[in-house]
Amino acid sequence: MSRGGRAGRLMPCLALGLLLCAACSGGSNAVPEPATPGRPPLRDVVLPDLSKMAASARTQIRERHDTLQHIAARPGVTPVELSNAYGEMGKLLMAAQYGEAAEAAFLNAQTLDTSQFRWPYYLAHLYRTRGESEQARALFSRALQLEPDSVDALVWLGNTELALGQPDRAAPHFSRALALEPGSLSARFGLGRAALAGQDPQRAATLFEDVLKRDPTAAGVHYPLSQAYSALGDTRRAAEHLQQRRERDILPADPLMVELERLVESPQTYETLGIRALEQEDWPAAATAFRKGLDLDPGSASLKFRLATARNAAGDAADAEALFREVVTTAPDYFPAQFSLGVLLQARGDHREAATCFSAALKQRPDYVQARLRLAASQRRLGQLKEAQANYRQVLQTNAQLEEAEFGHAMTLVQLGRFRDARDALVESRKAHPDATAVTHALARLLAAAPDPQVRDGQQAATLVQQLIQKGRTLDLGETLAMSLAELGEFDRAVAVQRDLMTAAKRAALPRVEARLATNLSRYARGIACRTPWTEDELP
């Protein structure tokens, strides 16, 4: 990944869950101020209560603190040596999210060595994460006085100016960063944000589109880009990018801050690193990080769950299933593992056990929409149609016009033999989601082959199929086309289409599909239209 273009989150998730207490320990944990004539006064660095931290992190912090005390008490220690000792202590405390002690350590480090870029830079980030933008601005500016060509500091100073509502002051920092590093996505993104805040949506859109061209995975661009297009009156593009929005920042590469992410030796640190690798789709790195975390905390349900997720993403479903089962056995209340195990079971057709898993997840979190949708889908396959219908309705009560719920509810109505209600539901869903291919295709199939003559409309079915074919051809779509042709009485054409489909199914080694197609081919050859929109094994 190029410098200046790392997408993700930095400090907000460092050492997540370390549970450091706000209560400070006694004065024995304070580093004494060295009694050296002429040296500026220094602040006490007091350790927090470390009792609830992971043992490895607790030991690490205490050892670093002991080292600092030893250096501070050593006769003849130089200001630079002591500055570095305070700075290293500050880094560890900042990584552990104990800001007050970290602030004192960094202030001491900066006081003792005013020529060092790192200490005002870390302090600036510390204030930034606390929302103290004015202090962050001053310290990023101080850091840039020491290293004027720091692209990272320039981008962060620009971001801070934007946070302070000063796009005109932010833009020059982003521009200078781009001049120093033309490939910096974070600088280009920042310049686009400054243009958008400065009421120049055309320039903003151009810059945002350039970011996506350079990195199509930069999902954090979509929301501001949708705002830019909305300001330009381009509602179509605004809607397209709004649908693709994700809460994902586009940040500088920032090696100094990345160093902090790996600093605390704790299960939480490895979990954070593993999550970052998952976001980047680096499955082996994610699995390695989660295993290191499990070495420190073998009983962690979340680490085991995330390792299972990484193994499943890497294609090892068996290993993933074993790990998910281990979690649901040892931590049955950990609902994410219940849900993920259910998804694996559902994918291989084990709907009964999958439904049990989804129900267990919903017991812990009744508002878990995806679990309820998955449960309803498995209930449909099990013939528990009233239960499925009730779950779809419950989802739609709080998530009106949710496409997946609307579609599943319509298919449940089909299974119940309520073809007119199913047609009406699909028509309404298509109005709300005109680009939803699955909804349009299901409506076409129902219009072509529903047993109820008041539902069938071969001409409309054929029209819908032709619209879908323009987006791409599939075996299922071809089958629907043949159904609509047969409904219109064009049996010769239906036979020709069906034979082509059977040839394609044979080439693709799909014997069950080929057999299903042969059944309808026999009907069409005898001048009989299809009256079964979906067989049981193909119902979506």
For 278-316, b where at least 16 C-beta lie within 10 A, e where not — what string?
beeebbebbbbbbebbbebbeebbbbbbbbbbbbbebeb
DSSP 348: T
DSSP 328: H
Q: CA–CA separation, 209 vs 213, rounded Å?
A: 6
For the stretch 44-87, pLDDT in tens is 999 988 888 888 888 999 999 999 999 999 999 999 999 999 99
Q: CA–CA separation, 224 vs 205, rounded Å?
A: 8
Structural contact between residues 160 and 136, judged by C-beta atoms closer than 8 angstroms = yes
- 251 strand-pairing partners: 6
Q: How far apart are the first and last CA of the chain?
A: 40
pLDDT value of residue 55:
86
Structural contact between residues 483 and 447, judged by C-beta atoms closer than 8 angstroms = no
Structural contact between residues 244 and 216, judged by C-beta atoms closer than 8 angstroms = no
Q: 537, exposed or middle or buried, with CB in 10 Å at 0-12, 13-18, 19+?
A: exposed
Q: Which residue has the tokens 């050859």?
A: 525
Q: CA–CA separation, 379 vs 372, rounded Å?
A: 10
Q: CA–CA separation, 351 vs 330, rounded Å?
A: 23
Sign of the dihedral through C-alpha 367, 370, 373, 379: negative
Structure tokens at 431: 């109005």
DSSP 85-115: HHHHHHHHHHHTT-HHHHHHHHHHHHHH-TT
* Residue 73 vs residues 35, 76, 83, 277, 433: alpha-carbon distances, Å: 9, 9, 13, 42, 71
pLDDT value of residue 539:
85
Q: What is the 3-state secondary structure of 67-90? A: HHHHHHHCCCCCHHHHHHHHHHHH
For the stretch 528-539, pLDDT in tens is 999 999 998 888
Structural domains of the chain, with CATH? 6-200 (1.25.40.10), 281-476 (1.25.40.10)
Sequence-separated (6 or more) residues with CB below 8 Å from residue 275: 13, 286, 306
Query: Which residues of the chain fall short of a pLDDT of 50?
Result: 1-28, 34-35
Q: CA–CA separation, 217 vs 288, rounded Å?
A: 23
Structure tokens at 358: 């989804």
Q: CA–CA separation, 494 vs 510, rounded Å?
A: 20
Instruction: Calculate the dihedral angle through the C-alpha atoms of 337, 339, 342, 344, rounding to the nearest 10 degrees.
Output: -70
- Across 278-421, the runs of DSSP E, i.e. the strands, are none
Q: 488, exposed or middle or buried, with CB in 10 Å at 0-12, 13-18, 19+?
A: middle
Structural contact between residues 278 and 309, judged by C-beta atoms closer than 8 angstroms = yes
